[in-house]
C-alpha cells in the first residue's frame, strides 16, 4: 500500500482524503461510535491542555499534550466522522455560515 501523502498547502478536502488514507494504512476502526468516543476523549485532552496552558489547577507534570497537538487530534477525528457520513466539510462549513450570517447574535457580558 502506498504511503499516505498530504500535499503542500492542502485544502480541506485534501485533509479529509489524507484521513481516509491513513485509516486504511493504519487499519483504524471504521466504526462511527468508536470515532464519536475518540473525539470526546480528545476534546477532554484538549481542555486539559488549555487548563495547563492557562495555569488553571492542573498537575503540570502530567503527560498532557500541547493545545496545538490536541487540536490536531480533534481535527483528525472530526474529519474521520465527516468522511463516515460523506460530508464535504468545506461545503458544509460554507452552507452553515450562510445560515449563521442571518442569525442575530447577542454579545455576552464578560467580567
What per-residue confidence (pLDDT) applies to 65? 85
- Rounded to whole angstroms, how far apart are CA atoms 49 and 90? 27
Quick check: 85 and 95 in contact, CB under 8 A?
A: no
**pLDDT value of position 17:** 93
Distance CA 77, CA 40 (A): 9
Architecture, CATH, for domain 12-101: Orthogonal Bundle (1.10)
What are the helix (H) ranges across the chain?
12-26, 32-53, 67-84, 89-101
Q: What is the CA radius of gyration of the chain?
A: 17
Segments making up each domain of the chain, as ranges: 12-101
Q: What is the pLDDT along the chain (111 residues), one digit of tens a residue?
A: 678 889 899 999 999 999 999 888 888 877 899 999 999 999 999 999 998 888 887 666 677 888 999 999 999 999 999 999 999 999 999 999 999 889 888 877 765
Amino acid at each position: 500500500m502506498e504511503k499516505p501523502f498530504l500535499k503542500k498547502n492542502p485544502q480541506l478536502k485534501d485533509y479529509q482524503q489524507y484521513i481516509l488514507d491513513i485509516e486504511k494504512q493504519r487499519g483504524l476502526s471504521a466504526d462511527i461510535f468508536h470515532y464519536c468516543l475518540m473525539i470526546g476523549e480528545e476534546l477532554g485532552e484538549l481542555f486539559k491542555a488549555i487548563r495547563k496552558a492557562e495555569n488553571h489547577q492542573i498537575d503540570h507534570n502530567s503527560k498532557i499534550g500541547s493545545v496545538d497537538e490536541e487540536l490536531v487530534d480533534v481535527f483528525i477525528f472530526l474529519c474521520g466522522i465527516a468522511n463516515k457520513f460523506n460530508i464535504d466539510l468545506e461545503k458544509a462549513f460554507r452552507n452553515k455560515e450562510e445560515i449563521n450570517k442571518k442569525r442575530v447574535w447577542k454579545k455576552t457580558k464578560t467580567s
